[in-house]
Amino acid sequence: MDRLIIRGGVPLRGQVEVGGAKNAALPAMVASLLTGESIRLHRVPQLGDVKTTIGLLNHLGVSVERGDRESLSLRADGIGPCEAPYHLVKTMRASVLVLGPLVARFGRARVSLPGGCAIGSRPINLHLAALEKMGATVSLDAGYVEAKASRLRGARITFDGQTVTGTENVMMAATLADGVTVLENAACEPEVVDLAALLNGMGARIEGAGTPTISIEGVSHLHGAEHEVIPDRIETGTFMVAAAITGGDVTVTHCLPGHLEAITEKLRETGVLVEETDCSIRILGDGQLRGVNVRTHPYPGFATDMQAQFMALLSIAQGSSVITETVFENRFMHVNELLRMGADIKVIGTAAFVHGVPMLSGAPVMATDLRASASLVLAGLTAQGTTTVSRVYHLDRGYESIERKLQSLGADIERVAE
Ligand code: EPU
């Protein structure tokens, strides 16, 4: 297992390019199950979760070829076991995305139930209720959910709560259903919009993606397509915080600032200067940060996937901040590690009360999920002394070569194999 060793205190400077979005690439890869023709994707980042998805798709009979560094060609022209096994779903919950496409195209799917994880219980009841409404028979057996339908039929579905992968799962299923499906209270995340764009490129008829009402007119079959994945807004946000927390001057390039408005607004409130173009964001910090209150929400609100990184930032901001997590019930696993670095944070229910301290101090730390690990790297970049972040495989699931990119900005960070 690798560790990252960070000697903090260097203000980051320069330009850094973000990769394709993990949470857009994964559903885009899974969408290949909906057709026997080839799907060519560009800007697919080289990440742990992408590797896991390739393994899952191979298991399902999809051939996957890497082209140049960031392209993938996927072809689902055979039919595999239609089953997503436990060992894959438990390491990556996005595996559940195969459920909708498999039932829609092959009439059946057997997917392991994900169970709880480090950030909450994360049930899939909303995915299942929607598929049932579309005529699937859903049953549970030996930890697996089994769904069957000779052909799904269009339905009007009002989600009980907003769910990103739930919306994506059902949207994919509805592309091959008989008739029109209308999704109400659908997730509005840019990753949902990106998936709809790919599906429409494959011949689907989807309207309204990016709004709470999505309508999908089913078609008899989909065809091959070529698609470029959108830039990763969470990677972008993480580099923005890296610049701010070190009082640096960083321009993040190849990104879409329009996807980060809530983050940009909060950063400006902390006193950081933010300059945007259509495809880049410059962050200029002077090390003087003010505390702000943050409340996570589904898009376009403040992303839960940026909460941990902001907590690292606010732990050295002047004054008090309250961070309220409304999306997941248990997403404060980074707090205890930040405390070990000298932060002053108290968690009461869904709120974390942060009193800024002048400085964090380096320590050996580890985290149990991806974004929590990112927050510890950020804390290490500003801390006095040396921070060792263990269990780097969490970071590798969602950040491509994070240490290389940070090094290019002047950070004193290295990866060592244990
Ligand atoms: N929920 C239910 N029932 C369901 C589905 C969701 O109760 O059937 C609840 C969840 O427990 C949670 C809330 O609804 O409390 C929102 O969950 P959602 O389904 O939107 O999350 P997700 O689709 O499993 C995606 C991202 C996460 C991101 C969340 C929220 C992917 C592959 N994952 O997860 O990304 O945090 O949306 O924006 O798109 C990450 O990248 O680090 C990550 C965890």
Q: State which ligand 1 atom lies nearest to the alpha carbon of 161.
A: 14
65-119 pLDDT, tens per residue?
998 879 999 999 987 789 999 988 888 889 999 999 999 999 999 999 876 667 6
Q: What's the pLDDT at 283?
A: 98
Protein residue whose Cα sits closest to atom 10 of ligand 1:
122
Give the Å distance between the CA of 92 and the centre of ligand 1: 12
Protein residue whose Cα sits closest to atom 9 of ligand 1:
122
- DSSP, collapsed to helix, strand or coil, labels residue 15 as strand
Which amino acid, 322?
Answer: V
198-237 pLDDT, tens per residue?
999 999 999 999 999 999 999 999 999 999 999 999 999 9
47-77 pLDDT, tens per residue?
999 999 999 999 999 999 998 879 999 999 9
Within 6 A (CB) of ligand 1 lie 22-23, 26, 93-94, 120, 122-127, 161, 163-166, 187, 191, 304-305, 327-328, 370-371, 398
What is the number of alpha carbons within 13 Å of residue 127 lying toward its C-beta? 27
Give the Å distance between the CA of 284 and the centre of ligand 1: 32
* Mean pLDDT, rounded, for 304-320: 98
- Are 104 and 172 spatial neighbours (Cβ–Cβ below 8 Å)? yes
Averaged pLDDT of the chain: 95
Following CA atoms 116, 121, 122, 128 in sequence, which dihedral angle do they give, to the nearest 10 degrees? 90
Rounded CA gap, 233 and 298, in Å?
14
pTM score over 0.75? yes
Q: What's the pLDDT at 219?
A: 98
Rounded CA gap, 290 and 218, in Å?
51
Set 82, 117, 188, 255: catalytic member: 117
From residue 274, give the alpha-carbon distance in Å to each of 248, 317, 356, 377. Answer: 12, 17, 22, 22
Q: State which ligand 1 atom lies nearest to the alpha carbon of 124.
A: 8
Rounded CA gap, 231 and 255, in Å?
5
CB contact set of 3 (below 8 Å; sequence gap of 6+):
388, 389, 390, 392, 415, 416, 418
From residue 384, give the alpha-carbon distance in Å to each of 7, 100, 231, 361. Answer: 7, 49, 32, 5
Give the Å distance between the CA of 328 and the centre of ligand 1: 8
Q: State which ligand 1 atom lies nearest to the alpha carbon of 122.
A: 11
Give the Å distance between the CA of 96 and the centre of ligand 1: 11
- pLDDT value at 238 more than 70: yes
Which amino acid, 269?
Answer: E
Considering the chain, what percentage of its residues have pLDDT values greater than 70? 98
Q: What's the pLDDT at 119?
A: 67
**96, 99, 164, 400: residue to mutate for ligand 1 pocket, most atoms within 8 A of CB:** 164
Q: Does the annotation mark 117 as catalytic? A: yes
- Are 168 and 96 spatial neighbours (Cβ–Cβ below 8 Å)? no
Rounded CA gap, 167 and 183, in Å?
8
**121, 126, 327: residue to mutate for ligand 1 pocket, most atoms within 8 A of CB:** 327
Which amino acid, 329?
Answer: E
From residue 348, give the alpha-carbon distance in Å to each of 66, 240, 254, 342, 345. Answer: 47, 28, 39, 19, 10
Helix and strand element counts for the chain (H, E): 14, 24
- Are 246 and 11 spatial neighbours (Cβ–Cβ below 8 Å)? yes
- DSSP, collapsed to helix, strand or coil, labels residue 331 as coil
